[in-house]
Amino acid sequence: MKDIYCLAIESSCDETSMSIVRNGCDEIATVVVSQIDIHKKFGGVVPEIASRSHIETITIVLDEIFKKANMSIDDIDIIGVTYGPGLIGSLLIGLQCAKTISLVTGKPLIPVHHIAGHIYANNLEKRLEFPLIALVVSGGHTDLVYMDKDYSFKKIGSTLDDAVGEAYDKVAKILGLDYPGGPIVDKYAHMGKDTYDLPYPLDDNTYNFSFSGIKSATFNIVHNERQRGNNIRIEDVCTSFQNRVVHVIVKKTFRALQEYGVKNLIIAGGVAANKGLREALMNGAKERGINLSFPKIEHCTDNAAMIGAAAY
């Protein structure tokens, strides 16, 4: 069978990324230009600045990806692009670029849902095996998804309010930590003790999640301590927060695997980089004989290689 080369484009938030992926599983080359340093001083992504930054970067990234892969547009078979969800202005830049290349070259344009991309990041490690449960944990999503075949997504649970990555970033902000806060909270969580009495977030019999309650409870503890003039033990807040969040996510994920009679578990999205979550899932999978797979750390956060994998 002829190899299929995909030029993939991702611009849904604050990363301008392109990748060339062969047959949905071999990453030939990837370029990711992150805007984190630009948004850091605002404590979060500023949509208008993000769109303008994509405009400035995208043609440079396009030149760079072909140089890095030592290929040209003639070697490409399909164009994959994130069509949503994401920041509308940011998405438009990647989409417009992809549509233009497709129009000029006549090569097919494949629209990819951003979360399908996160799920298919796992295909870059090893081909997905079905049926599977995908745990999607990112800055915008917290979902449990059942898949019995390629590109068939049945959502069995979702967050009712904040996404888990969003809760991490907001807790980091109240603690005065940098953006994005998830990786910093994760780092501190491994240095502290579980001393703060935080609630377990939506520890019930559904597959849904809710993180706004634990976020507010964390805010209250921090405010109260500040008002009393007490020192906040940042590491201990992070440990207490992470333990509660990981406990509930892991519990619901393994219950879903059991109830659906599924042996394959994959993790997707930026929070899949979380060390505490990875460790807890690895231990649980080992105990239960579950076949667990993760994307590489650089494929957990936004990148175009995952879009190329899904487009194929």
Please report, as ranges, the residues that interact with ligand KG4 according to CB under 6 A: 13, 138-140, 165, 168-169, 180-183, 186, 269-271, 273-274, 301-302
- Considering the complex, state which of residue 14 and residue 302 has its C-beta at the smaller distance from Zn ion: 302
- Considering the complex, state which of residue 138 and residue 159 has its C-beta at the smaller distance from Zn ion: 138
* Helix, strand, coil fractions of the chain, as percent rounded to 5: 50, 20, 30
Q: Please, are residues 43 and 179 in contact by the beta-carbon 8 Å criterion?
A: yes
35/53 Cα distance (integer angstroms)? 8
- Considering the complex, state which of residue 27 and residue 186 has its C-beta at the smaller distance from ligand KG4: 186
Amino acid at the residue 41: K
Near Zn ion in 106-145, by CB under 5 A: 138
253/153 Cα distance (integer angstroms)? 16
Tell me the closest approach of the beta carbon of residue 254 to ligand KG4, in angstroms.
20
- Considering the complex, state which of residue 24 and residue 269 has its C-beta at the smaller distance from ligand KG4: 269
Tell me the closest approach of the beta carbon of residue 172 to ligand KG4, in angstroms.
8
Tell me the closest approach of the beta carbon of residue 200 to Zn ion, in angstroms.
26
Q: Please, are residues 93 and 225 in contact by the beta-carbon 8 Å criterion?
A: no
The SS3 assignment for 79 reads: strand
Q: Which stretch binds Zn ion (CB under 5 A): 42-50, 181-189, 276-284, 297-305?
A: 297-305
64/33 Cα distance (integer angstroms)? 11
Distance of CA 139 to the CA centre of its chain: 6
Contacted entry of ligand KG4, Zn ion, none for residue 218, CB cut-off 5 to 8 Å set by kind: none
- Considering the complex, state which of residue 101 and residue 218 has its C-beta at the smaller distance from ligand KG4: 218
Tell me the closest approach of the beta carbon of residue 165 to ligand KG4, in angstroms.
3
DSSP single-letter state for residue 295: -
Is residue 302 at the binding interface for Zn ion, with CB under 5 A as the rule?
A: yes
Residue 194's alpha-carbon distances to 40, 189, 191, 234, 235, in angstroms, are 29, 9, 10, 11, 9
Q: Which stretch binds Zn ion (CB under 5 A): 65-73, 90-98, 105-113, 295-303?
A: 295-303
Nearest to 207 by CA among 259, 269, 164: 259
- Considering the complex, state which of residue 35 and residue 274 has its C-beta at the smaller distance from ligand KG4: 274
Is residue 16 at the binding interface for Zn ion, with CB under 5 A as the rule?
A: no
Contacted entry of ligand KG4, Zn ion, none for residue 180, CB cut-off 5 to 8 Å set by kind: ligand KG4
Tell me the closest approach of the beta carbon of residue 138 to ligand KG4, in angstroms.
3
Q: Please, are residues 137 and 159 in contact by the beta-carbon 8 Å criterion?
A: no
86/11 Cα distance (integer angstroms)? 8
Note the residues at the interface with Zn ion (CB under 5 A). Answer: 138, 302
